[in-house]
A and B are shown apart, each in its own frame.
Chain A
Amino acid sequence: MQLIECPWCGPREEVEFHYGGQAHVAYPEDPAALDDEQWAHYVFYRDNPKGRFAERWSHAAGCRRWFNAVRDTATYRFESVYHPDQPKPVIP
C-alpha cells in the first residue's frame, strides 16, 4: 500500500487520508456579484491534468489536518506535500 507523507505526522498508509480535490481554488472576492455560470464554474469546474496536480488532502484518520500535495495523476507518485497556507509550487 502506498504511503502518503502528512506534513505533521510523517509517512502513513493511504487509507488514513481523504482526497479533497484541486488545491488553490480561491473563494470569490464578491460572491454576490457572480452570475449563475460564473458560480457554477467556481463550484464545479476543476482542472483535470494528466501529470502533476496540486491537490488538497486531509489526514482523516490521524491528525485531521488539511494539507496540499503535488501528485502525478498518471503515476500516483506524490512529488511534495506542503502546508495549506503556503503558495502553490511551480509545477514544471
Chain B
Amino acid sequence: MAEQLSRTHPLEAWLPAFAELSGAVRISAEPFVPMTVLRADPATAGDVRIRGAALPTAPGSWASAGAGWLIWLGPDEWLLTGPGAAPEALEEELRTLLRPVGGSAADVSAQRIGIRLGGPRARQVLAKGCSIDLHPRVFTPGQSAQTTLGQAGVLLLALGEDEFAVLVRSSFGGYLASWLLDASLEYAAPALTS
C-alpha cells in the first residue's frame, strides 16, 4: 500500500522551542499562506484596487488587503498574501485585475514562509542581525524592508509597535529560526530574566 504523505510546516521541528519562550520575545510560525507577485506600471495601475487596497507606491511600505498584506517590493513590483485562498485562484484573481492595465501576476506561494516575532524585546532581537534603523520612531507599523537578517535575505514587516513578520525563503527558514532562538536567549530564558 502506498504511504500517505501529509504536508508539514518547514519549521515544525522548531515549534516546541518557540513555545518555550517567555513573553519578552514571542516567536511563532505563520501558517501556510498563498502569495502572488504583482508587476504593473504604477502610472497605469493607480486605480486598481487589490482586495480594497491601492498599490502602495512609497518604498518600504505595506497595506492591508483583505485579510492579507500588500507589500511594496519595487517601483513596479508588489507581493500579496491571500490567507484562505487557493494559490491558483489568487493568481487568477490578480491576473484578471491587472491584465487590463498591462500588469501581470505570478504565484510564488512556495517561495517564502512567515515567522511572527513579537514582545517588548522583539526589536532588540532583530537589531542583532539587521542593519536597517529599527528605532520605534523610524520603523513604524505599516513599513516594510527587504534586507538581511543574520545571513538570510528577508522581507521584514512592522505589523505593530512590537509585532513583526519576517518572510524568508523556505530553505532558509530553519537557519533563521535557529538564529532567532539564539538571539532571543538572553531575553527569554526565565532563569536569566527573573
Mark A residues whose CB is within 8 Å of B. Answer: 1, 8-10, 12-13, 15-16, 61-65
CB of A83 to closest CB in B, whole Å: 9
Residue B22 CB within 8 A of the other chain: no
Q: What class of interface size applies to chain B in its complex with A?
A: 10 to 19
Q: Please list the 6 inter-chain residue pairs (A to B) with the smallest Cβ-Cβ separation, ordered nearest first.
A: A8-B59, A13-B131, A63-B74, A62-B146, A61-B153, A61-B148
Contact: A63 with B73, CB < 8 Å?
A: yes
Question: A8-B75, A64-B74, A65-B75 given as contacts; is B59 within 8 A of A15 (CB)?
Answer: no
The residues of A that contact B147 with a CB separation of less than 8 Å are 12, 16, 61-62
Closest chain A residue to B130, Cβ basis? A13
29 CB contacts below 8 A, A to B, read A1-B131, A8-B59, A8-B74, A8-B75, A9-B59, A9-B60, A9-B145, A10-B59, A10-B60, A12-B131, A12-B132, A12-B147, A13-B148, A16-B148, A61-B146, A61-B147, A61-B148, A61-B153, A62-B145, A62-B146, A63-B59, A63-B73, A63-B74, A63-B75, A63-B146, A64-B74, A64-B146, A65-B74, A65-B75
The residues of A that contact B145 with a CB separation of less than 8 Å are 9, 62
The residues of A that contact B148 with a CB separation of less than 8 Å are 13, 15-16, 61
CB of B167 to closest CB in A, whole Å: 14
Mark B residues whose CB is within 8 Å of A. Answer: 59-60, 73-75, 131-132, 145-148, 153
Q: A62-B147, A63-B73, A63-B74 are in contact. List 4 more A-B contacts (CB 8 A).
A: A9-B60, A61-B147, A63-B75, A64-B74
CB of A2 to closest CB in B, whole Å: 11
Closest chain B residue to A9, Cβ basis? B59
* Separation of A29 and B147 alpha carbons in the complex (Å): 38
CB of A92 to closest CB in B, whole Å: 30
CB of B40 to closest CB in A, whole Å: 15
The residues of B that contact A10 with a CB separation of less than 8 Å are 59-60
* Separation of A10 and B58 alpha carbons in the complex (Å): 12
CB of B143 to closest CB in A, whole Å: 11
* Separation of A63 and B132 alpha carbons in the complex (Å): 14
CB of A67 to closest CB in B, whole Å: 11
